[in-house]
Structure 1
Amino acid sequence: MQDNDLIGKIAYSKAGRDKDKGYIIIGKIDDNYVLVADGKKKTINKPKRKRLKHLNLTCEVANEIKDSLLSDERDIDIKIKSFLILKAIVKEV
């Protein structure tokens, strides 16, 4: 999988205190680790490092956020936060 294939994907934590929490992958460290953000506690400037095996990857990609990440736009945290909130609302219904 290429680096850009993971960026922008929606992933959910499998276990731990953040179980079932939604994240967006914002970077790839190596074959085992990625950087994720949720727009609130874990921002673009201070992302969370997660093992890929600890994430449930979805096939859905947030294309607008991916484009923003690749072009180094500002206010990406607001986009991530609102996208994940909307996703949680839709998931509940």
Structure 2
Amino acid sequence: MRTFTRGMLARSKAGHDTGKLYVLTEADSDFVWLCDGKIRTLDRPKKKRRRHIQIIYQIPGNLRELIEEGGEIRDEHIRKAIKEYERQRDCSNQQEV
């Protein structure tokens, strides 16, 4: 089993939030805690089973820098990281068409 690292992106595969993009904030052997910076903030992360998410083994640039520097991640950093990833994904999909 691959390890999950704080700051990685994850997409929900099951539940009422199917397809929603989150940032992983914590993980143990069975569960992960996810934040989106809006509804699921760092104060109230979403607890989800590992099998119910698809991990994206990528940490967005702004979060990677903060984690490496030991800085504090805030909800606005998470919102920006998710928005940046979705924008890059949309651009790459448009170029393929």
TM-score range relative to shorter protein: 0.7 to 0.9
More strand by share: 1
Instruction: Determine the structure 1 residue equivalent to 2:95.
Output: none
Aligned-partner residue type, residue 25 of structure 2: I
Q: Select between 35-44 and 58-67 the one with higher mean Cα deviation.
A: 58-67
Q: 1:90/1:66 Cα in 2 relative to 1: closer, same or farther (>3 Å)?
A: closer
Q: CA deviation at 1:73?
A: 1.8
| 1:85 aligned residue (83, 86, 90) | 83
Kindly report the root-mean-square deviation, in angstroms, between the aligned alpha carbons of the 2 structures: 2.1
CA contact (8 A) 1:8 1:26 kept: yes
TM-score by length of 2: 0.76
* Aligned residues of 2:62 and 2:81 also touching (Cα < 8 A): no
Deviations 1:57-93 (A, max 9, x none): 112123542564683626x100100110121222223
* Matching of residues 34-49 of structure 1 within 5 Å: 34-49=32-47
Tell me which residue corresponds to 2:56: 58
**Percent identity (aligned):** 26
**1:7 correspondence with 2:6:** yes
Which has the larger Rg? 2
Amino acid at match of 1:84: I
Write out the 4+ residue segments of structure 1 that deviate beyond 4 Å after TM superposition: none
Deviation digits for residues 10-68 of structure 1 (CA, Å, limit 9, x no counterpart)? 1100122211111110112x201011100000011111101111000112123542564
Normalised TM-score (structure 1): 0.79
Gaps of 5+ in 1: none
